[in-house]
Chain A
């Protein structure tokens, strides 16, 4: 069983602040990393993918990957109440199927107006 761990939260931040979500994974051979957002009662929505060490920015979202330390993080700048959701970290490891993902249990984020 490949482990992907996230702090379940809840993480509360005030509107306009930076929300920082962290994820660690156990398999050093993992190569693809994803962040999904899931609103209550809805299915997950892919918001970021990252494959190389370093930062990847998309709008207010920045994904950070450090393979040596086996962690991936998601920063949300200028947090909005609409960002309140559960954020799932997912990892793909070669040898377990090209599309197979191992999911963390998610971190629940609440942005306080």
Chain B
């Protein structure tokens, strides 16, 4: 249980295009979904937190108009990188959290998707 999928796993695009990344919790309903970015040999950086049906909360320094997050259901969140530029090339990882009462996933654990490697030429 507690499986999170992410699609696509890898994308290469030209500068100026938009890229959409999907994150799905496959076997549980995610109360909250998170989007992280990780540059090579650096630590995870939280970009934004989203709850189903409400606007995402962005971390300081993350442009909300550039990184559009839609959390349409308890199992799906999308991140759209608009007008991507080479400096946006990174490893984007989503995670899903759950705060229910059953034994798995346990309260307030986060489970990560496999990540999307974005390369902007």
Contact = CB atoms under 8 A, between A and B. Distances in A.
Interface of A: 32, 34, 36, 41-46, 49, 88, 90, 92, 97-101, 103-106
10 nearest interchain CB pairs?
A99-B97, A105-B43, A43-B115, A43-B112, A99-B32, A98-B99, A43-B93, A44-B112, A98-B108, A99-B108
Interface of B: 31-32, 34, 43-44, 46, 49, 91, 93, 97-99, 106-115
A44 B44 contact: yes
Interface of chain A: mostly helix, strand, loop or mixed:
loop
Contacts of A43: 91, 93, 112-115
Nearest to B117: A41
Contact of A46 (B31, B93, B109): B109
A46 B108 contact: no
Contact of B32 (A44, A98, A104): A98
Contact of B43 (A34, A46, A99, A103): A103
Contacts of A36: 112
